[in-house]
Amino acid sequence: MSKLSITWLGHATFLLQSPGGKKILLDPWVTGNPASPESAKTLGALDLILITHGHSDHTADAVAIGRASGAQTVAPYEVAVWLGSKGLKNVTGMNPGGTLQALGLSITMVPAVHSSSVEEDGKIIYLGVATGYVITFENGLTIYFAGDTSIFGDMRLIGEMYHPQIAFLPIGDLYTMGPEQAAKACELLGVKQVVPMHYGTFPALTGTPARLRELVEPKGVEVLELKPGETAA
């Protein structure tokens, strides 16, 4: 088995290749994503697409990429039904607390503190709760993908129960945590590596990896800062 490879496709969109070779896309937003690299346009075949909540910066390309890639899509229940209504097949709905065994991976949906909706014809349609994922790979490596969220005290519980080694945390502020809350989240989760996300896409997202680094490096936490299109393996 090889290591987990992590490619940032800008904003909250990541392509993971599991140690067993499975390709997993998280929160697909490519079209209209100002941070999306050229490589995001040619993803090819995928095994799994995971979606945390309904907002368009996490779902805009779910139907198109889901269809083209042949992947199974996993989403919060109401988002799954909505994607199905848009013509996407092979969608599995979940709710927080649930664990799905698929493709040799263990995928647990966990809570997030955030909203979940889409806008259609100028109206907001609510799509249940926002979520995050704990993913355990074939070799036992466990990651926590927070999705969009504030800090919350039960991150400590996620740390105690699942012992993630890497946390993917939003740091852009305004719509999610900023670096200060993300730094405290690393402590609650007990992680030694953090991948910052949901920053730099537009000027309103002011949190920076540099600020996160100032806060967590003295505590022995490594910030895995990627450029859009870059891969850490």
Footprint of Ni ion (CB under 5 A): 55, 148
* Contact between residue 52 and residue 74 where contact means Cβ atoms under 8 Å apart: no
For Mn ion, the closer of residues 73 and 136 by Cβ is 73
Residue 11 binding target from Mn ion, Ni ion, none, CB below 5 to 8 Å by type: none
Token reading at 157: 């519980």
Residue 61 binding target from Mn ion, Ni ion, none, CB below 5 to 8 Å by type: none
Distance CA 105, CA 112 (A): 21
Per-residue CA distances from 143 to 65, 115, 190, 207, 225 (Å): 23, 23, 12, 22, 16
For Mn ion, the closer of residues 23 and 55 by Cβ is 55
Q: At its nearest, how many Å lie between Ni ion and the CB of residue 14?
A: 15
For Mn ion, the closer of residues 142 and 206 by Cβ is 206
Residues 6+ apart with CB under 8 A from 25: 13, 14, 15, 16, 43, 46, 48, 49, 50, 65, 69, 71
Residue 78 binding target from Mn ion, Ni ion, none, CB below 5 to 8 Å by type: none
| Residue 57 makes contact with Mn ion by CB under 5 A | yes
For Mn ion, the closer of residues 148 and 173 by Cβ is 148
Pick the piece of the chain touching Mn ion (CB under 5 A) from 41-49, 53-61, 97-105, 123-131. Answer: 53-61
| 115-154 residues near Mn ion, rule: CB under 5 A | 148
Residue 27 binding target from Ni ion, Mn ion, none, CB below 5 to 8 Å by type: none
| Residue 61 makes contact with Mn ion by CB under 5 A | no
Q: Burial, 153: exposed, middle or buried (Cβ in 10 Å; 0-12, 13-18, 19+)?
A: exposed
For Mn ion, the closer of residues 57 and 173 by Cβ is 57
Per-residue CA distances from 54 to 26, 80, 94 (Å): 13, 9, 13
| Residue 27 makes contact with Mn ion by CB under 5 A | no
Distance CA 202, CA 224 (A): 21
* Contact between residue 172 and residue 196 where contact means Cβ atoms under 8 Å apart: no
For Ni ion, the closer of residues 131 and 136 by Cβ is 131
Q: At its nearest, how many Å lie between Ni ion and the CB of residue 63?
A: 18
Q: At its nearest, how many Å lie between Mn ion and the CB of residue 115?
A: 10
Per-residue CA distances from 117 to 7, 20, 94, 114 (Å): 26, 34, 16, 10
The DSSP element (H or E) to which 168 belongs, if any, is strand 166-170
Pick the piece of the chain touching Mn ion (CB under 5 A) from 39-47, 56-64, 208-216, 223-231. Answer: 56-64
First vs last C-alpha separation in the chain: 13
Q: At its nearest, how many Å lie between Ni ion and the CB of residue 114?
A: 6
List contacts with Mn ion (CB under 5 A).
Answer: 55, 57, 148
